[in-house]
Chain A
């Protein structure tokens, strides 16, 4: 996937004083994390604020990061907590852990690591906007699970860790999300 040092190695190098390693690490994850905030309903300005807060937390806690854990799992855990902290201050806050948005259905096999084969066809801007709107229209829990998989490349187990939900619950959320998005993609084909 990524040639060269892994995310964990770059973070360790930054913790040792290599600012350039942080730059490379940031370059890898800047846009996925930013889109993660945008799809969760944040405006661009808010998404930037949340992005900055997330990376500031990474900077401050880089020395305490344990190389055994996966960096993206930690990064999206921090991002999610920042977003939850933001929405908790709002009256119209929507819980991402709302069980009402997670109807229990048959489990779905998800393999995020195989998702980036080079057979992605280019889409028009209008189609892209329509697909993104379909994602944004998903229930919060399903949307979050989908975004963690699509943007962060997290596995089912990692999504479960980040969202602090059960393994089966995460699978169910993803399955519902995929079903809805497939119907949205039918218009392209």
Chain B
């Protein structure tokens, strides 16, 4: 009986407690659970929440990074080696132009404003292109690799034209001394005129290097012409294309008597006229001015050598 009474008291108490629904605050509950989570180095989480997905270990990416680094390094070394192999045939265009333009006299003219230099250059390039035969221009344009991959579009136009012009002058010098189509207008044009000599000299080089040299050559010629054109005086913007070209040609005639072919023709005439002393003197001067140009047999003295 007593046991039943005890049970009844306990059950009554529990029922009363459930009715009153006494519980601690959520803050106390959260603090206790957070402390428990910290104790086991886990993130705080409600006990009634479902278990989260297991923590994914971070993906190991360092092998990919190492492989990429090795690959890029190898690629860089290969590119450097290849560039080094191709570099010996390369000569800076500015140096070559300086060599060719050294004997020429600078054209005295007032220094144009910087803004006027650009139109003058384009006009001169245009006049140069106009003097080149259409067939040569077409051939030059048909092979864009000559112009070089890194040259801009305007440079690509200038290079084939200059090369065609150089070829034409070489042909003239080989066949017979003949007057040039257009006299060299200035020191910059003289530098361009000296290029046929280089071309003639290089044609004797082994055929193995021909292709590669031609590629460099085209870009060199273009660069030389471009750099030679830049310092040339510019006509006022109001002046037309013809006026600018004519003034430059007149100045060139005054400073230089003739081109190489014209000079050789005069020497040959002196020989034929029996004026060998004058011819020898002219030949000596010619060789000083054009040491790389081959002198035809008619211009040489009877015992002379080429």
Contact = CB atoms under 8 A, between A and B. Distances in A.
B51 interface: yes
A185 B29 contact: no
A59 B47 CA distance: 15
Interface string A1-37: 0000000000000100111101110110011001100
B15 A128 contact: yes
B16 A149 contact: no
Contacts of A47: 24
A51 B28 contact: yes
Interface stretch (B4-12, B61-69, B172-180, B257-265): B4-12
Contacts of B31: 52
Contacts of A151: 17
Nearest to B37: A19
Contacts of B14: 115-116, 120, 150
Contacts of B13: 131-132, 135, 146, 150, 181
Given A125-B19, A132-B20, A109 B33 contact: no
Interface in A172-188: 174-175, 177-178, 181-182, 185, 188
Most buried by B among A112, A132, A174: A132
Contacts of B36: 14, 19, 22-23, 26, 55, 59
Interface in B26-74: 28-29, 31-33, 35-37, 39-42, 44-48, 51
A182 B11 CA distance: 11
Contacts of A178: 2, 5-6, 9
A68 interface: no
Contact of B2 (A30, A108, A120): A108
B23 A31 contact: yes
A14 B24 contact: no
A122 B15 contact: yes
B22 interface: yes
Contacts of A17: 40-42
A34 B24 contact: yes
Contact of A115 (B7, B16, B37, B44): B7
A98 interface: no
Describe B's contact surface by its main secondary structure: helix
B11 A27 contact: no
Interface residues of A, number: 58
B61 to A, nearest CB: 29
B303 interface: no
Contact of A122 (B19, B47, B51): B19
B42 A19 contact: yes
A151 to B, nearest CB: 8
A177 B51 CA distance: 44
Contact of B47 (A24, A51, A125): A24
A114 B24 contact: no
A132 B17 contact: yes
B15 A121 contact: yes
B82 interface: no
B226 to A, nearest CB: 77
Interface of B: 2-3, 5-20, 22-25, 28-29, 31-33, 35-37, 39-42, 44-48, 51
24 contacts: A17-B41, A19-B42, A23-B45, A26-B33, A31-B23, A34-B24, A111-B3, A112-B10, A114-B7, A115-B10, A115-B11, A116-B11, A121-B15, A122-B15, A123-B16, A125-B19, A128-B17, A131-B13, A131-B16, A132-B17, A146-B9, A150-B14, A178-B9, A181-B9
Given A26-B33, A124-B19, A125-B19, 16 more contacts: A48-B28, A59-B39, A109-B3, A111-B6, A123-B16, A128-B16, A128-B19, A128-B20, A131-B12, A132-B16, A135-B13, A146-B9, A150-B9, A178-B5, A182-B9, A185-B12
Top 10 nearest A-B pairs (CB, nearest first) are A23-B47, A128-B16, A128-B19, A115-B10, A131-B16, A19-B42, A181-B9, A22-B36, A120-B15, A109-B3
